[in-house]
Amino acid sequence: MLFPPLEPYACGMLPLDDLHLMYWEQCGKPDGVPVLYLHGGPGDGCAPACRQLFDPSFYRAVLFDQRGCGRSIPRGEIRSNTTAHLLDDIEQLREHLGIERWLVCGGSWGSTLALAYAEAHPQRVSGLVLRGVFLGRDEEIDWFLSGMGRFFPEAAQRFVTPVPEAVRGDFLQAYYQRLTDPEPRVHLAAARQWAQYESSCATLLPNPDAVVRAAAEFNALPLARLEAHYFSHRLFLPHNQLLKNVERIRHIPGIIVQGRYDVICPPRSAYELAQAWPRGELTMVEGAGHSLWEPGILQAVTSALVRFQARLA
């Protein structure tokens, strides 16, 4: 389902402001059809395997680590880090690379960012491939914090236990305070608990190795801190903005890939988006959860990218 491993033919650090430097890379065909990959989180980053989603004989694939994530610096930084900043960063990167229009591919939070970008700059988007749709609404954030525990009660119990009962009334704020505490002993412990909770709920079948990788400091701290930061500010988006503004992308073709048993981003959001978006085609993957790396999800995403080759050739 994946193309063979490959290395970038170009990469760099793009200065965004006085604080942030953003890592970017390009791989595949230098004069190919541009495609932008948006990772999840907020706070995750691009793994080398993400390059393998794109046919290197056709696509000029652009990947980058969002502010505070992955190889961008400073890692885990929440200052000057909002959705509006990220949308500006995408435009700055597009101009830096001299790209007129690109296919945009994103999953989970990456789908949120892809939709926000397409609605803000529809003239720059040739198509959308979205996976595990997250529309950033209050109910979706609240579901992440408490609803997922209905299906994964053991993980939810481990997530809740470190927070004293006295402050559980504002559970998100209690975690946010710990994740932004200057003492590493405090913020690293909270980050590992948060990352393990999310990773435990990401796949239909248990994946202990993924949970261990998620809890590593390099992965856990930016993921947990930035997710708590964005969730605390309701993704820096007005409620239901992405569905309300879908008229702006009605002419853009898209393929939506959704796991039927996605507990992190339940299918209702993908279904509602497809109902509101005339050219958004929904592929519901039976027997799959949230993770891109589940076989059914991975096959559907790579198939969507192959299908776009005929449209964009």
Residue pLDDT, tens place only, 65-88: 999 999 999 999 999 999 999 999
Q: Is residue 5 part of a domain?
A: no
The reply to whether 242 and 199 lie within a common domain is no
Q: Is residue 203 part of a domain?
A: yes
The reply to whether 125 and 241 lie within a common domain is yes
Residue 271 pLDDT: 98
Q: In terms of DSSP bridges, do strands 254-259 and 125-131 run parallel, antiparallel, or are they unpaired?
A: parallel
* pLDDT one-digit tens code per residue, 38-52: 999 999 999 999 999
Distance CA 111, CA 104 (A): 9
The reply to whether 163 and 115 lie within a common domain is no
Q: 173, 206, 235 — which closes off a domain?
A: 235
Q: Is residue 60 part of a domain?
A: yes
Residue 197 pLDDT: 97
3-state helix, strand, coil in the chain (%, to 5): 50, 15, 35
* pLDDT one-digit tens code per residue, 102-143: 999 999 999 999 999 999 999 999 999 999 999 999 999 999
**Domain containing residue 122:** 10-137+236-312
**Nearest Cα to 227, choosing from 185, 186, 190?**
190
Q: Quick check: helix, strand or coil at residue 40? A: coil
The reply to whether 197 and 217 lie within a common domain is yes
Contacts of 229 (CB under 8 A, 6+ apart): 42, 78, 81, 176, 180
Q: 235, 267, 297 — which closes off a domain?
A: 235
What band does 287 get if pLDDT is binned at 50, 70 and 90?
very high
Q: 235, 267, 298 — which closes off a domain?
A: 235
Mean pLDDT across the chain = 97
Residue with token string 């080759």: 309
Residue 38 pLDDT: 98
Percent of the chain with pLDDT over 90: 96
Q: Quick check: helix, strand or coil at residue 122? A: helix
- 72, 108, 199, 200: which one is catalytic? 108
pLDDT(187) > 90: yes
What CATH number is attached to the domain comprising 30?
3.40.50.1820
Backbone dihedral region for residue 222 (phi beyond 0: left; psi -120 to 50: alpha; all else: beta): alpha
Q: How many domains does the chain have?
A: 2
What are 101's two structure tokens?
């229009």
Sheet holding 280-285, edge to edge: 10-15, 21-28, 59-64, 33-38, 102-107, 125-131, 254-259, 280-285
Catalytic (active site) residue 108: yes
In single-letter form, the type of residue at position 184 comes to P
Question: For 80, what's the count of Cα atoms within 13 Å in the CB-facing half-sphere?
Answer: 12
Task: Give the other-Cβ count within 10 Å of 273's Cβ.
Answer: 22
pLDDT(1) > 90: no
Q: In terms of DSSP bridges, do strands 33-38 and 280-285 run parallel, antiparallel, or are they unpaired?
A: unpaired
Please calculate the CA angle 131-201-127 and round it to the nearest 5 degrees.
Answer: 5
The reply to whether 269 and 203 lie within a common domain is no
The reply to whether 127 and 244 lie within a common domain is yes
The reply to whether 87 and 117 lie within a common domain is yes
The reply to whether 121 and 260 lie within a common domain is yes
Q: Is residue 205 part of a domain?
A: yes
What band does 198 get if pLDDT is binned at 50, 70 and 90?
very high
Distance CA 291, CA 110 (A): 13
Q: Is residue 50 part of a domain?
A: yes
Give the burial class of 276: count Cβ atoms within 10 A of its Cβ; 0-12 exposed, 13-18 middle, 19 or more buried.
Answer: middle
What are 189's two structure tokens?
């412990």
Q: Which helix (H) or strand (E) holds 283?
A: strand 280-285
The reply to whether 39 and 53 lie within a common domain is yes
Q: Is residue 1 part of a domain?
A: no
Residue 199 pLDDT: 97
The reply to whether 247 and 132 lie within a common domain is yes
- 187, 262, 269, 291: which one is catalytic? 262
Q: Is residue 56 part of a domain?
A: yes
83-97 vs 109-120: helix crossing angle, rounded to 10: 70
The reply to whether 131 and 179 lie within a common domain is no
Distance CA 110, CA 102 (A): 15
Catalytic (active site) residue 80: no
Q: Is residue 2 part of a domain?
A: no
User: Rounded to the nearest 5°, which phi and psi values hold at 131?
Assistant: -135, 135
Task: Give 167 or 197, the one with higher predicted confidence.
Answer: 197
The reply to whether 133 and 143 lie within a common domain is no
Enter the DSSP assignment of 248: G
